[in-house]
Amino acid sequence: MPYSQVKFDAAIWETVSNIKSGRVMSYGQVARIAGYPRHARMVSKAMGRCQTALPWYRVIRSNFTLAFKEGSNAYIKQRQLLEKEGVRFVNGKVVPLDSDANKDLDELLWGVPDHL
């Protein structure tokens, strides 16, 4: 089957639009779940082509950092949108939802890891 950008885009948009508020997913995960493994790099392209509203900001790197250059407009916008949904950041990295058990008191109270 030849690569169809139309079908690829549709699959990606579908997957991204299903990410629930306050949750995030990596580019690789989106690509894989959409049925296109190893197409992480293409996910951003597909999202850029989407004309309707899409929760693009819920897609981040596999290492829990944002894909845009830190300090850039896009980075700030994405971070604000995520924080508005309750996503917390520590050291520029998104805090996984169920990691509370692994965090010490200082980090829970102040959002600052002890080892700095």
Partner DNA sequence: CCCTTGACTATCT
Partner DNA sequence: GAGATAGCCAAGG
Contact residues toward DNA (CB under 7 A) are 3, 5, 26-29, 38-45, 47-48, 56-57, 59, 61-63, 67-68, 74, 115
Nearest distance, CB of residue 21 and DNA, angstroms: 17
Of 60, 54, 72, 48, nearest in space to 96 by CA: 60
Nearest distance, CB of residue 63 and DNA, angstroms: 7
Greatest alpha-carbon span in the chain? 53
Those residues with Cβ within 8 angstroms of residue 24's Cβ, 6 or more apart along the chain or in another chain:
58, 59, 60, 64, 82, 87, 94
According to DSSP, the β-strands at 59-60 and 25-26 are: parallel
Based on CB atoms, which residue is closest to DNA, 17 or 44? 44
Nearest distance, CB of residue 64 and DNA, angstroms: 9
Nearest distance, CB of residue 2 and DNA, angstroms: 9
Based on CB atoms, which residue is closest to DNA, 81 or 88? 81
